Structure 1
Amino acid sequence: MKKMISTLLALLLTAMLPMVSAAAADTKSDYDYTRFKGAGVTLNVYNWGLYISDGSDGAADVVKDFEELTGIKVNYTTYDTNESMYAKIKSGGADYDVIIPSDYMIGKMAQEGMLAELNFDNIPNYKMIGDQYKGLAYDSNEKYSVPYTWGVVGVVYNTTMVDGEVDSWDILWDAAYSGNVLMFNNSRDAFAIAAKKLGLSLNPSSQKEIDEIAAELKKQKPIVQAYVMDEIFDKMTGGEAALAPYYAGDAITMIEDNPDLAFAIPKEGTNYFVDAMCIPKGSANKEAAEMFINYMCETEVALANCEFIGYSTPQAEAVKLLPEELANSPIMYPSEEVLENTEVFEVLPEEINTAMDAAWSSMKAHEEGGSGWIIPVLMLLAVAVIILSIWRKNVRKKRDDY
């Protein structure tokens, strides 16, 4: 059903796009999408994987449409975690003009002077972003970001492999599903789940809390099949695992591809997140990057992205045009009761971040391949070899003495 709606919507959007483009040029006198045509401008856009309407399944190809409308070439590449994106930009390994981090990472990058302040005169469509998504703690002064999507984290599960109701994070620690549980392959999300299971805040404030959460993750390790990010799509839709925590928008995509899958938001509470568009400091094409951000906020474009990727849109006009099955989806738009039991990631002090990363690395190094015992055993073998060598030398010496 969703595929059919997606195809019909895509055809409608395709038919409307020339009118949308004309409207952008003709009725918005303060904005001109054609002003970089012929200037040879190229934008480097860095986004999450599977996070834009890309032309597949008959949907709108947002990047291609932007290129044709503006004459700007877009180099579009993807990442799988906030942390890998941050590390690449921090290292200076690549130059990007538009990035789409999550809330807490935006706050961190802003604090470290990694983001450019936006000129909202070049982003007039910002006015169509709902007020409830603006001025949040990660960008309280509305300087660095324009909300792109929002959502919650829950449990994706295979109804043919899981018995009973799924309503708690505890199920990801259930030994009955040993070898059939997937887990986030990034520290912030994994720590958040274990923290909620323990009744703690997903924003740890002390080494004691970090140690407690890390210990809970270690208890889970024996039943975890793999730590994943984008790999979850193939594993869950292919029936290779029974349970996995993941983002609501991607859950919709997976359920569409495998109707045996379902999604649950645990009763202990979960993470509420906002992903937003930003421009890294030093972008050589800042005004063109702001044009791209403005285009992504066009009603028809925001609608196409929302419908295709399954994530909730903060663009108020696009929400009104959503197909009924998405507008009423408890996955895409959870009830107020569910949302009241969510918590947002905060920008943690550097010492807490460092301690969390160290605990995560220690846990992963010990886990992978069940190889935590290898180093101690190798050390014992090395000692044994040394002792044997000394013994042989002593034996030879005694023989020589005779």
Structure 2
Amino acid sequence: MIIIACFGLAATSAHLAKSQGATGDNVLNFANWGDYIDPALIKKFEKETGYHVNQETFDSNEAMYTKIKQGGTHYDLTVPSEYMVEKMAHDKLLIPLDKSKLSGMNNFGSDFMNQSFDPGNKYSIPYFWGTLGIIYNDKFIKPGTIKHWNDLWSTKYKGQIMLIDSARDIMGMSLVSMGKSMNTTDTPTLAAAKAKLDTLSPNVKAVVADEIKMYMENNEAPLAVDWSGEASEMLYENSHLHYVVPTEGSNLWFDNFVIPKTAKHMKAVYAFLNFMSDPKNTAQNTDYVGYATPNNKARALLDKSVREDKAFYPDEATMKRLEVYKDLAPTVVGKYNDMFLEFKMFRH
């Protein structure tokens, strides 16, 4: 009985070690957003290289950041958004990239490199990118009617708009509609954006997250404000849906590969980064995930209807008016959050 018990404890310990990503040298411990990579590519990488990928998912940049900062994790690679790359670098939570070990950096378009959140790509490689925009249903709204953020304030859309539950995005939308920056830190300007947002309240059907997809796909709402990646999934399910990036400006977001300070398996990290930068692998992953790829050589391999879709790959003029979020001071982020919460609580 003692032998059996000891064997059981050893097996349990081994299982826990594996689930926590501590299984020898031939592994890659990967922290990623949920359903954000083609599982077939993971299997292909494992078969080609002999490395085993332990993948753990997170649902917010902040949750991932906290785990890495507090320690106790074994992540070799993770995928923060642009403002979080800036924050993690500032807090010394990232290991600089060794460019001599990277084989695919020339595959990426210049529009997606050397961004303000990581000058010179010292720490990050772009993974996917996208925008914030408007989805509308042509069963209810005539094509071409929705072009600008201010169109949403029309009284004819009373009770018809779904908003993504995101303070920076919805406050940012209001700021852009006023000709202001989405990175505004000026309190009176933020207060004016909040006041304008309050006037949108009669038109707002709900402020939600993933539920937007269900409402839009099932023709239960004519309009929504959401991210391009979410929009692509909706458009795939419902041919009556369309996605618009207002030409006056919007958010340009990036998700990026970075190496956290917890990394132990550097050979596996660089093998994976080079594997995922290969145009064929990137194109396959882009088809699976549905977001826009910054890998221009991979984009050339996509179906023409995808790679030339200006809703998801905007023209140069629109790209120039898109803003990347900055890592604002906690006090300023608090103002965005408080104003947005007040908007949601007292919406009429």
**Within the alignment, does 1:69 sit opposite 2:19 as a pair?**
no
Equivalent of residue 116 in structure 1, options 87, 90, 95: 95
Q: CA deviation at 1:362?
A: 4.0
Q: 1:315 aligns to what? A: 295
SS in 2 for 1:138: coil
Q: Given that residues 180 and 240 in structure 1 are in contact (C-alpha distance below 8 angstroms), is that contact kept between their aligned partners in structure 2? A: no
Q: 2:86 aligns to what? A: 107
Q: CA deviation at 1:75?
A: 3.2
**Structure 1 vs Structure 2 CA RMSD:** 2.7
Q: Given that residues 80 and 229 in structure 1 are in contact (C-alpha distance below 8 angstroms), is that contact kept between their aligned partners in structure 2? A: no
Q: Note the alpha carbon deviations across 1:304-359, whole angstroms, 9 max, x for none.
A: 12223332222232122222111221122211222232222223234322332333
Q: CA deviation at 1:207?
A: 1.7
Q: Given that residues 250 and 322 in structure 2 are in contact (C-alpha distance below 8 angstroms), is that contact kept between their aligned partners in structure 1? A: yes
Q: CA deviation at 1:136?
A: 1.4
Q: Note the alpha carbon deviations across 1:354-382, whole angstroms, 9 max, x for none.
A: 33233334444x258x7xxxxxxxxxxxx
Unaligned runs of 5+ in 1: 1-37, 55-60, 371-402
Alignment CA distance shift 1:188-1:297 (3 Å): same
Alignment CA distance shift 1:160-1:190 (3 Å): same
Amino acid at match of 1:219: T
Q: Given that residues 187 and 356 in structure 1 are in contact (C-alpha distance below 8 angstroms), is that contact kept between their aligned partners in structure 2? A: yes
**Within the alignment, does 1:52 sit opposite 2:52 as a pair?**
no
Q: Note the alpha carbon deviations across 1:221-254, whole angstroms, 9 max, x for none.
A: 4443333333332222122322112222332332
Q: 2:137 aligns to what? A: 158
Q: 1:246 aligns to what? A: 226
Q: 2:284 aligns to what? A: 304
- Identity over the aligned pairs, expressed in percent? 32
Q: CA deviation at 1:199?
A: 1.6
Equivalent of residue 200 in structure 1, options 175, 180, 186: 180
SS in 1 for 2:280: helix
**Within the alignment, does 1:43 sit opposite 2:40 as a pair?**
no
Equivalent of residue 269 in structure 1, options 234, 249, 253: 249
Report matched runs for 1:106-145 at 5 Å: 106-145=85-124
Q: Note the alpha carbon deviations across 1:239-290, whole angstroms, 9 max, x for none.
A: 2322112222332332121001011122332122222111222223344233
Given the two structures, how large is their TM-score scaled by the length of structure 2? 0.82
Q: 1:293 aligns to what? A: 273
Amino acid at match of 1:256: Y
Q: 2:307 aligns to what? A: 327
Report matched runs for 1:59-98 at 5 Å: 61-90=40-69, 95-98=74-77
Q: Given that residues 45 and 76 in structure 1 are in contact (C-alpha distance below 8 angstroms), is that contact kept between their aligned partners in structure 2? A: yes
Q: 2:214 aligns to what? A: 234
Whole-Å separation in 2 of the counterparts to 1:337 and 1:215: 30
SS in 2 for 1:141: helix
Alignment CA distance shift 1:298-1:159 (3 Å): same
Q: Given that residues 164 and 212 in structure 2 are in contact (C-alpha distance below 8 angstroms), is that contact kept between their aligned partners in structure 1? A: no
Q: CA deviation at 1:108?
A: 1.9
Q: 2:316 aligns to what? A: 336
Equivalent of residue 184 in structure 1, options 135, 147, 164: 164
Q: 1:384 aligns to what? A: none
The answer to which of 200-209 and 65-74 deviates more is: 65-74
Q: CA deviation at 1:39?
A: 4.8
The answer to which of 162-171 and 101-110 deviates more is: 162-171
Alignment CA distance shift 1:286-1:259 (3 Å): same
Unaligned runs of 5+ in 2: 1-22
Q: Note the alpha carbon deviations across 1:74-100, whole angstroms, 9 max, x for none.
A: 233444444454455445585533222
Whole-Å separation in 1 of the counterparts to 2:197 and 2:155: 14
SS in 2 for 1:329: coil
Alignment CA distance shift 1:107-1:291 (3 Å): same
SS in 2 for 1:275: strand
Whole-Å separation in 1 of the counterparts to 2:68 and 2:229: 26
Q: 2:9 aligns to what? A: none
Q: CA deviation at 1:166?
A: 0.6
Given the two structures, how large is their TM-score scaled by the length of structure 1? 0.72
Amino acid at match of 2:119: S
Whole-Å separation in 1 of the counterparts to 2:283 and 2:208: 29
Amino acid at match of 2:317: E
Alignment CA distance shift 1:360-1:205 (3 Å): same
- Work out which structure has the larger RCO, using CA pairs closer than 8 Å and 6 or more positions apart in sequence: 2
Q: Note the alpha carbon deviations across 1:175-211, whole angstroms, 9 max, x for none.
A: 5434432212222222211111122111112122222
Q: CA deviation at 1:139?
A: 0.6
Q: 1:209 aligns to what? A: 189
Amino acid at match of 1:63: I
SS in 2 for 1:63: helix
Amino acid at match of 1:311: Y
Q: Given that residues 303 and 319 in structure 1 are in contact (C-alpha distance below 8 angstroms), is that contact kept between their aligned partners in structure 2? A: yes
Alignment CA distance shift 1:303-1:211 (3 Å): same
Larger-Rg structure: 1
Structure whose residues are more often helix by fraction: 1
Whole-Å separation in 2 of the counterparts to 1:168 and 1:357: 24
